[in-house]
Structures are given as structure tokens and as C-alpha cells.
Amino acid sequence: MPVIGLGTWKAPKGEVKKAVLAALKQGYRHLDCACDYGNEEEVGAAIKEAMEAGVVTRKDLFVTSKLWNTFHAREHVEVAIQKSLKDLGLDYLDLYLIHFPISMKYVPIEELYPPEWLNPTSKKIEFVDVPVSETWAGMEGVCRKGLARNIGVSNFCAQTLMDLLKYAEIKPAVNQIELHPYLTQDSLVAFCQEKGIVLTAFSPLGASSYIELGMDRGEGVGVLNNPVVQAIAREHSRTPAQVCLRWAVQRGYTAIPKSTHESRLQENLHVFDFTLSAEDMVKISRLNRHLRYNDPGEFCKGMGLPNGYPIYA
Ligand code: A2P
């Protein structure tokens, strides 16, 4: 799994194809996608064009997609992966992840795709009683069929993983979680590393991507403008984004920064020719303030429910 991948969450339609194509030309080989991002067809068009132009071959690529919450019933897992494969123009994924440990009422593809958080009929989040064990059996099924070469999870905490590891016949290869200097998740990281579960850091640059969504929790200054990160960047003649990514790499994560700008794509990929000192690493890790931007409960608030939904209650 290439250590730096291209994130495609919020990469808008009409821009994402160009960004993916530019990234592949620059040397990116790891693409992080999901049904929920609503842009897999366009990502697929970029992959096709890059392959036809001889930029990449399928075997050079590492493509991830994710199972949305409405497809958690065992019989829907294959329906969902087949749709992602069709949109991406691939016959297998390198990695398929359960996007959230949250099961929601099934919405047929013909009715609404991607199905999003709110049920199209009730306009509310509709939960269903599908345990992760059932969903995981479906994930193992698509893995055994060769539709996904590896399977894993996203947004899982250590407790949820401990349970999953008790019955999983195929162990989760990856846990993709929010990780950046303001949210270091040390105990979850240690747990995954001890169990041999690869960590992928989403939002590795901190708040930048949440400002546009109004989800930056008043921390609009964000990691990239943090004086400690900026000072370390100056010392190494690098950008704050490169410092964050290098910090992630040295902590043993893979990371998937999203960008639709060619210069930033370039910058984000080039983090392998400098090293942060042990002292730099400690200074950055001490910035931790347990600040989680990507909280499903907050999504619900943002979607017009008066008091948010007590998703963790
Ligand atoms: P843009 O696409 O305009 O470059 P995510 O947290 O989902 O990985 O998103 C990263 C966010 O940070 C996006 O808003 C992206 O915006 C921005 N970004 C990506 N790379 C850089 C960079 N090197 N410097 C500053 N901002 C960046």
C-alpha cells in the first residue's frame, strides 16, 4: 500500500477527474475513494484515461473504496462493491472498507445513489439492527470472491476492533481514521499497530477541509497555521503540510491528503527526502488536543436536525 495516497472526499465533480489524472502523472499510485463521495465514476474516467495513455497499469495502482452505511446487510455488500467497481471501471479493489460502524436502512441504488445520511423518504437518519459481525461476513464474502484483495474498516475505535477480531476469519487489514497533530489517538494507534492493522490517516492536515464545511469547530487557524508546525517547517525549508505528512509517515501511518491543486498534489507526495528529529516529533505530538472534526453526530446537526442526533447515546 503506497504510503501517501490521494484522498477524493469533497473533490467536486467536474474537478476530480483532472486532479486524479494530474496525481497519477505525478506518481501517485494510491487512490482513496468511497461510494459516499459521489464521484467514483469520474475517478474511474481518470483511471481509464491514465491507463490508455500508458501512465499506469492496473497492477501499479492501489485503489480503495468504502461500503456505505445503507449496505450493511450481508446480501447488500456485494451489490455495493459491484456498483463501486462498475463506476471505477475496475474488476477488483485493492482494499474495501466498512465506512462507519453504523448500520442504516437500505436504500436501493435506483432510488438514490450515493444514499447519504438522511433516508430519502423520511429525511431522517434511519438506523437498522445489523451488527458489524453480519457486515463483516459480507466483506469476507467479497474478499473470497476476489472482488476486494483486502478488507478493512474505517472510523472504528479499539473496542469495536477488539470485538471484530474475536470472530473475523479474515482480519481487517486497515483502519482508516482521523489522525493529525490535533488528534493523535495514541491508544488506538498503539492498539492497531500491535495487532498489525495498518493505519490510514484521513484529514492528515487537520482542519483545512472542514472550514469549507463549516465544521472546523472555531479552530479555523488549524494545524497548518500552528506556530509550532510553522517553525518546524521553516527549519526544514518545507511547508506545514509536508511537516504534517512527514510526522504521519514517521509515526507509521499511511495518509491520504486530498487536493485538487497540482502544486499541492506535488507538495504532498514529496515527503520522503527529509526527516523530522525526535524532538520535532515530540513537539508536534504534544499539539494533541483531542480535536475530532469528523464526528457523525455533528454531521446530523449540519443536516438540519434541531439538536443533532444522539448517535453515540
Ligand atoms: P484543496 O483541494 O483546495 O487543495 P482532507 O482533509 O480531506 O485530506 O482535505 C485536505 C484539505 O487541505 C483540502 O481542503 C485541500 O484543499 C487542502 N490542502 C491539501 N493539500 C494542501 C497543502 N499542501 N497545503 C495547504 N492546503 C492543502
Nearest in space to 97 (alpha carbons), one of 215, 292, 256? 256
Å from CA of 244 to ligand 1 middle: 12
Question: Please, which pLDDT band fits residue 304 given cuts at 50, 70 and 90?
Answer: very low
Question: Please, which pLDDT band fits residue 99 given cuts at 50, 70 and 90?
Answer: very high
- The set of cell numbers assigned to 46 is 481518470
Give this prediction's pTM.
Answer: 0.95
Atom of ligand 1 nearest to the CA of 263: 23
How do residues 103-160 score in pLDDT, each as one tens digit? 999 999 999 999 999 999 998 889 999 999 999 999 999 999 999 999 999 999 999 9
Å from CA of 133 to ligand 1 middle: 35
How do residues 265-290 score in pLDDT, each as one tens digit? 999 999 999 999 999 999 999 999 99
Domain ranges of the chain: 6-219+251-271+289-299
Smallest CA separation from ligand 1 atom 15, residue: 259
Q: CATH assignment of 6-219+251-271+289-299, given 3.40.50.1220, 3.20.20.100, 3.40.50.300, 3.40.190.10?
A: 3.20.20.100
Q: Is the CB of 203 under 6 A from ligand 1?
A: yes
Residue 201 DSSP SS3: strand
CA distance 177 to 174: 10
Å from CA of 23 to ligand 1 middle: 14
What pLDDT, on a 0 to 100 scale, did the predictor assign at position 213? 72
pLDDT higher than 90, residue 249: yes
Query: Which residues neighbour 20 within 8 Å (Cβ) at sequence distance 6 or greater?
Result: 6, 8, 11, 31, 42, 43, 46, 47, 50
Nearest in space to 258 (alpha carbons), one of 31, 57, 42? 31
Best residue for ligand 1 mutational test, from 18, 179, 264 (most atoms within 8 Å of Cβ): 264
Question: Catalytic positions, please?
Answer: 37
Answer whether the bond into residue 114 is a cis peptide, omega within 30°.
yes
Query: Which residues neighbour 108 within 8 Å (Cβ) at sequence distance 6 or greater?
Result: none
Q: Is the CB of 238 under 6 A from ligand 1?
A: no
pLDDT higher than 80, residue 300: no
Residue 99 labeled ligand binder: yes
How do residues 168-193 score in pLDDT, each as one tens digit? 999 999 999 999 999 999 999 999 99
**Interval 22-35 mean pLDDT:** 98
Atom of ligand 1 nearest to the CA of 224: 25
How do residues 42-64 score in pLDDT, each as one tens digit? 999 999 999 999 999 999 999 99
Smallest CA separation from ligand 1 atom 16, residue: 259
What pLDDT, on a 0 to 100 scale, did the predictor assign at position 312? 37
162 backbone dihedrals φ, ψ, rounded to 5°: -55, -45
CA distance 106 to 237: 50
